[in-house]
C-alpha cells in the first residue's frame, strides 16, 4: 500500500513539474493545413499558371442557394476568377461556421453522377464499389490550396505502398458546378505529368458536375463537406476523405500536404471498411483553437486534469480491490 502511494505521489508531482515546460509550448501551431505548404509553394504556383488559361463554356442554369455550397451561378464571376484576389485563410475566417466538415463516418456516398475528363458519365457509388478510394474535394480554378493539395498527391502517390486499381484509387471532384470536362482534362494532364510516370493515369479520376448543382449538393452533404462561394472563388475546408469499397466514408485526413505513409495507411484502413478517428478529433481534446492567432494551442489544464483524475480513479480502484482482498484473508 505504501509503495503504491509513493508511486502515485511521484507520478502526480511529475505531472506538475512537466506542466511548466509544456506550458511554454502553448504557441505551437497545430494547423496541418499549413504543414508542408512551403515545400509545395513552387509546385502549386506552376500548376496555377497551367490552369489559369482554362476556358469555361457558358451554362444556362437556374439554381438556388443551398446550405452545401450556396451555388448561385454567375458566368461573369467565373470568367474573372483568375484576376480575383484570393486569401483562403481570410475567406475561411470570414465564413466562420458556415464552412467546414461534419465528419459522417459510416455514411454512404450519394448515388449521383459526375462527368470524367473524357466526357463519360460516372456514378460515384459504382466508381467506389470495389476499390478503396481517396476522394479529393476541390475546384479546378482554386488559386492556391487545391493546387497544393493535388500537387502533394502527385508527389507522393508513386511512393504509396498500395497497388493502384486494386488496393487504392484517387478521385478528384470539383464542387464548382460551373466547371466541366475540359477543366478536369487539363487538371488531369497537369497532375499526372507531375507524377513523372509514377502513378497510372487510369486510377486517378478527375470529375466535374457540368452544371448539375443537385449532384454537387447531394455529394457534399453525404460527406459532410460545406463550402461557400465568395464572388468567383470558394471558401472551403482542405481535407481528403477515405472511402471503403461500397462507398462508405471511413476516415478524414486534414491538410494540404501528406506523406506516402498517411495515404498508405488510409487506403489500407479503407480496405477493411473500419471507421477511424481523425487526427483532428483526437487533437481537439488536447488543443484549444485560438481564433485570434488562427491556430491550435496546447491545453495543459485539460490534459493535466484528465491525467490527475485518471490517477485518482486508479487509486480508488486499487483501494476497493485491496480492501476486498484484505477482507478475504480475514474470512479465511
In CATH, the architecture of 37-277 is 3-Layer(aba) Sandwich (3.40)
pLDDT in tens, 267-317: 999 999 988 765 545 444 555 444 444 444 555 655 566 678 777 888 788
**Could you read off the pLDDT of 4-28 as tens digits, one per residue?**
455 445 545 444 444 444 343 334 3
**pLDDT 10s digits, 164-223:** 999 999 999 999 999 999 999 999 999 999 999 999 999 999 999 999 999 999 999 999
DSSP secondary structure, 78-97, as one string: HHTGGGS---HHHHHHHHGG
Residue with the three cell numbers 476523405:
241
Euclidean distance between CA atoms 318 and 313, whole angstroms: 9
**Feature table: binding site:** 142, 146
- Annotated binding-site residues for Cu cation read 142, 146
Summarize pLDDT for 207-234 with one digit per residue, the tens.
Answer: 999 999 999 999 999 999 999 998 889 9
Distance CA 197, CA 211 (A): 32
| Angle at the Cα of 323 from the Cα atoms of 318 and 328, rounded to 5 degrees | 130
Query: Cell digits for 327?
Result: 477482507
Query: What pTM does this model have?
Result: 0.63
Q: Which of 39, 27, 28, 30 is nearest to 258 (CA)?
A: 39
Burial of residue 178 (number of CB atoms within 10 Å: 0-12, 13-18, 19+): buried
Would you tell me the crossing angle of helices 145-156 and 260-272 to the nearest 10 degrees?
Answer: 80
Amino acid at each position: 500500500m505504501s509503495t503504491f502511494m509513493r508511486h502515485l505521489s511521484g507520478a502526480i508531482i511529475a505531472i506538475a513539474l512537466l506542466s511548466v515546460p509544456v506550458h511554454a509550448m502553448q504557441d505551437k501551431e497545430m494547423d496541418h493545413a499549413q504543414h508542408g505548404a512551403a515545400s509545395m509553394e513552387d509546385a502549386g504556383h506552376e500548376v496555377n499558371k497551367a490552369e489559369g488559361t482554362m476556358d469555361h463554356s457558358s451554362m444556362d442554369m437556374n439554381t438556388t442557394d443551398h446550405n452545401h455550397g450556396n451555388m448561385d451561378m454567375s458566368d461573369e464571376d467565373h470568367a474573372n476568377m483568375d484576376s480575383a484576389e484570393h486569401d483562403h485563410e481570410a475567406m475561411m475566417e470570414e465564413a466562420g461556421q458556415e464552412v467546414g466538415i461534419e465528419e459522417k463516418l459510416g455514411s454512404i456516398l450519394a448515388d449521383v453522377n459526375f462527368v470524367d475528363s473524357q466526357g463519360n458519365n460516372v456514378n460515384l457509388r459504382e466508381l467506389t464499389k470495389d476499390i478503396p478510394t481517396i476522394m479529393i474535394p476541390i475546384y479546378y480554378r482554386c488559386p492556391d490550396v487545391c493546387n497544393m493539395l493535388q500537387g502533394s498527391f502527385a508527389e507522393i502517390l508513386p511512393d504509396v505502398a498500395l497497388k493502384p486499381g486494386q488496393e487504392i484509387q484517387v478521385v478528384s471532384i470539383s464542387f464548382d458546378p460551373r466547371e466541366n470536362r475540359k477543366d478536369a482534362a487539363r487538371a488531369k494532364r497537369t497532375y499526372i505529368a507531375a507524377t513523372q510516370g509514377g502513378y497510372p493515369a487510369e486510377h486517378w479520376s478527375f470529375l466535374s458536375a457540368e452544371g448539375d448543382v443537385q449532384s454537387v449538393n447531394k455529394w457534399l452533404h453525404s460527406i459532410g463537406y460545406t463550402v461557400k462561394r465568395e464572388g468567383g472563388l470558394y471558401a472551403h475546408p482542405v481535407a481528403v476523405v477515405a472511402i471503403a469499397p461500397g462507398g462508405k466514408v471511413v476516415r478524414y485526413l486534414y491538410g494540404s500536404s501528406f506523406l506516402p505513409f498517411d495515404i498508405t495507411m488510409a487506403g489500407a484502413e479503407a480496405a477493411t471498411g473500419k471507421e477511424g478517428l481523425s487526427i483532428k478529433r483526437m487533437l481537439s481534446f488536447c488543443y484549444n483553437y485560438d481564433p485570434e492567432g488562427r491556430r491550435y494551442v496546447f491545453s495543459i489544464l485539460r490534459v493535466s486534469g484528465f491525467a490527475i483524475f485518471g490517477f485518482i480513479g486508479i487509486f480508488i480502484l486499487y483501494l476497493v480491490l485491496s480492501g476486498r482482498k484484505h477482507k478475504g484473508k480475514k474470512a479465511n
